[in-house]
Amino acid sequence: MGSIVLVARLVLADVRRHQVQAAMLLLAVTVATATMALGLSLRGVSDAMYEQTRAATAGPDVVALSGDTGPAVTSALAELADAPEVTAHHGPYQVVYADLTTRGSTSSPVVVQGFAETPGPLNRPLVTSGRWVRPGGAVLERGFATALGVGVGDHVTIAGRSYPVAGIAVTAATSIYPWAAQIGPYGGPSDYTGLAWMTRADARALASSRDLPVTTALDLKLRDPAATESFIDAHRVPITFHSWQFTAGQDMVILRNSQPILVVGSWLLGFLAVTGIAVLAAGRAVAQTRRAGLLKAVGATPGLIATVLLAEYLALALAGDALGLVIAHLTAPAVASPTASRIGGAAGPDGATVVAATVLAVAVAVLSALRPTLRAMRTATVRALSAPAHQPRHRPWLTALSALLPTPLLLGLRLTARRPGRAVLQACSTATTVIGIVALLVIGAQPERGYGLDGSSALPNLRGEHDRRVMLAVTVLLIALAVVNTITFTWTTAMEARANVAIARTLGATPSQISLGLSTAQLLPSLPGAVAGVPLGIGLCAMFTVGKWTLPPSSWLFGAALATLVVTAALTALPARLAARRPVAQALSAEST
Amino acid sequence: MNEPSPVVDVRGLVKHHGEGQGRVRAVDAVDLEVPQGQTLAVMGPSGCGKSTLLHLLGGLERPTGGEVRLAGRRIDTLGEPALARLRRRSVGFVFQAFHLVEELSAAENVELPALLAGCSRREARRRAGLLLERVGLADRARHLPSRLSGGQRQRVAIARALANDPLIVLADEPTGNLDTAATLEVLRIFEELRSAGQTLVIVTHDERVAATADRLISMRDGMFVDDTRLAGAGAGPVPEAGTGTGWLGGLIGLEG
């Protein structure tokens, strides 16, 4: 118990003394775990929202769809309704294929389902605003209405006839917008299509007025809702069946790219978090070693020392993990349902998601802090108490090479050479950022078909927009962490080299030369990182893209790498300038004591 | 006939540390002239302001009040870049804690000021070789500071301070971390510098070091309490800032 109190006290004291570093660790882990939890939750949230919509709308277990109409089809569907596995049915009802135009002249394919004015016990669309169908009025599916920008009271023109929008509703009997048609006219393939409801009489009148294509549908409720596959297998008739499981799976089509973007994005964010926090931990290595020496001197065991040193990182990482999971929970419904075709929120992340996010958080903490912790544990007590400074290796070839360069490059190269591991981390951090930017450019470069009539982009491709939004969010997070990392790297380098910087100043190096040298020390490793990031980003996109895809113009990719380097240079300028202007005498005195 | 201006000319120099009640007058209205070729020793108890005075003379700290002139040029009003250029050419520092760059060899440390001053690598290496030979460390040129004794490190630091043939060398407790043998070795070098006409200001606690000087100033509470001529101080012509006529000048043939 005493040990736990001691560890808690030491951890709290250390967090209070290093608030900025604690905040950075918390932020990095929160961002990484939130992204991962969101990516892993999408399927579950999408399923949960379908389930809630299905429950609220008395969704059918199976929808039987025929490309034809007439007595033969009606008879075949009636036979299905009488099957022993079926406990209730709705229909058959007509599905009319038409074009819909709004007052703003946006046109889209639409399927119109003819429903009773008083819905039955099965497939009862939930009216979210306005009222249910009445003669002369239409009800629009909510995802479709949202895309069109149409509300209750507006007028829409369907196949040349004007209808007031009586209400907005959702249903679980069809896939989300724009996959409401399920089958095309005469049973053929369907295009991006919205959904509307009218009274049966209005639907019939609409179909006959323009001789529009019509199909027939029947909603079925089974005795065993899970037994849809066996029901479909047992009724091999020329009819298309869509089980509720199929429809739920269809909802994920719109998220097909979002999930890998978020999951892979979380790996990249996790990696950036490790690089940034590892540099912070390394910057504190001397102090941590001295702390370990103090604890050893008063009789602490190696296990207790490791616990004290790791506990801070683990505690902050777990706090970040919890925060990330909460953020993922709150944002998941918006990310998982970009069409408004479904209702409801989502339960918290499932057990597997919580475990995966926590593993990521713990990995970030342990990978960042393990090396300094082991070093502190292994250093002999007396040596630890004298806090030996890091002794960089002598690199005569590099010293000779740098002597040929102008002073800022000379200083920059020698500062880089002091910490080659740090340079590798900086290169990896830059490469990771460029990978994210390249992926964003690749997604932006893909041609896509709009959801409007004949592929018009008057109604944008929601899946493409969603992918771009998610990728943009991940890229912004990657850039934000990379910005924090770059500033951290520069400041840590400056602090570790403050003695050498002060010596160089006594020998006549100007603050500008020092500042440029510090910036150069960050830019030198960033250069190969930016160059490597371009092919790595393209390779990553190739791994997750199915079918043909378009590469962005080379100028975009080159510009991304160049812009990253320019921004890196700009970001290093301020901390480098601040470090270069620290009083020399003060720095030398600190080194002497 | 005009009197040659001193290398160091200080008038009413004041330096305060801290604010309010915690304010300390580290240097309190001192006047000082150091002619060219003079070796000045400054002694006094810890905290009397000796090191601060040295930092002010070398432009490492800015005074709260008063004027500092180096070779007739006022330096307390200079900006940081100009001060850096001045230090590069005209001032050499020797510190108690040596302050060598640990990852550079002895020769590379000595080359550094010349490289910063824009010398070619070949010239910087030539100067470093000559200086290390002169301080008796030619055979240690490729050694890292961590493989040198304290005395050897200080001799490297002295060689580095002389790399650009400075107008003045400012030494802050140069023997403070050294044993007797190493102290004597450093004193021998300072004596050679003095004989060669190098202007030197040495802050020290060590009376053996002070005894080698031409002049001894005692400080207490930021003020000069005694100023004694120990030997005839040189008063030769002062060269232009940035080109000393000292030890290295003679050694490698630099013209004043």
Domain of B31: which CATH number? 3.40.50.300
Nearest to B144 among A394, A407, A504 (CB): A394
Contact criterion met (CB < 8 Å) for A503 and B99: yes
**Chain A residues lying within 8 Å of B58, measured CB to CB:** 506
Of A404, A510, A583, the CB nearest to B121: A404
**Cross-strand bridge partners of residue B201:** B40, B170
Amino acid letter for position A462: L
Q: What pLDDT is recorded for position A567?
A: 94
What is the count of structural domains for chain B? 1
Burial of A77 (0-12, 13-18, 19+ CB in 10 A): buried
Q: Which residues of chain A have pLDDT under 70?
A: 1-3, 346-347, 381-392, 590-593
Statement: residue B243 has pLDDT above 70: no
Which residues have C-beta within 8 Å of that of residue A242, sequence separation ≥ 6?
A62, A63, A65, A182
ipTM of the complex: 0.78
pLDDT tens digits, B121-155: 889 899 999 999 989 999 999 898 888 999 999 99
Q: How far is A407 from chain B (nearest CA, A)?
A: 6
**CA separation for the pair B62, A536 (Å, rounded):** 51
In sequence order, what E strands does A310-458 have? none
What is the phi/psi pair of residue A203, to 5°?
-65, -40
B87/A507 CB distance under 8 A: yes
Q: Where are the domains of chain A?
A: 62-224, 397-593
Residue position matching structure tokens 């119109």: A112
Q: Could you tell me if B254 lies within 8 Å of chain A, comparing CB atoms?
A: no
Question: What's the confidence (pLDDT) of residue A591?
Answer: 61
Tell me the per-residue pLDDT of A191-218, one tens digit each, with 9 for 90 and over: 789 999 999 999 999 988 878 888 889 9
DSSP designation for B3: P
What percent of chain A clears pLDDT 70, i.e. is strictly above it? 96
Tokens for A7? 């560890």
Q: How does pLDDT run across A506-557, given as a tens digit for each residue? A: 888 888 888 888 888 889 999 999 999 999 999 998 888 777 888 899 999 9
Contacts A514 to B, Cβ<8 Å: none
Three-state DSSP at B216 gives: strand
With respect to residue B47, please indicate whether it lies within any of the assigned structural domains: yes
Using a CB–CB cutoff of 8 Å, tell me whether B18 touches chain A: no
Contacts of A521 in chain B (CB under 8 A): none
Instruction: Identify the closest residue of chain B to A403 by CA–CA distance.
Output: B121
Q: Is residue B3 part of a domain?
A: no
pLDDT at res. A391: 65
Q: What is the pLDDT of residue A390?
A: 59
Please check the confidence at residue B234 and state whether its pLDDT lies above 60: no
Set of chain A residues whose Cβ sits within 8 Å of the Cβ of B112? 504, 507
In this prediction, residues B174-202 reach a mean pLDDT of 90
Q: pLDDT higher for A296 or B166?
A: B166
Which pLDDT score is estimated for B32? 95
Structure tokens of A34? 């939130």
A399–B108: do the CB atoms touch at under 8 Å?
yes
Question: How many beta-carbon pairs below 8 A join chains A and B?
Answer: 96
Mean pLDDT of B78-93: 88
Percent of chain B with pLDDT over 90: 48
Q: H or E segment at B91?
A: strand B91-95
**What pTM value is reported for the model?**
0.77
Q: Closest-CA residue in chain A for B51?
A: A585
Task: Tell me the pLDDT tens digit for each residue of A378-414.
Answer: 777 666 666 555 566 777 787 878 877 787 888 888 8
Please list the residues that pair with B69 across neighbouring strands.
B9, B74
- Note the pLDDT tens digit of each residue in A18-65: 888 888 889 989 999 999 998 888 888 888 899 999 999 999 999 998
With beta carbons less than 8 A apart as the criterion, state whether A494 and B63 touch: no
- Give the residue on A whose Cα is nearest the Cα of B242: A508
**Interchain proximity A510–B84, CB inside 8 Å:** yes
For residue B238, pLDDT over 80 is answered with no
Mean pLDDT (chain A, rounded): 86
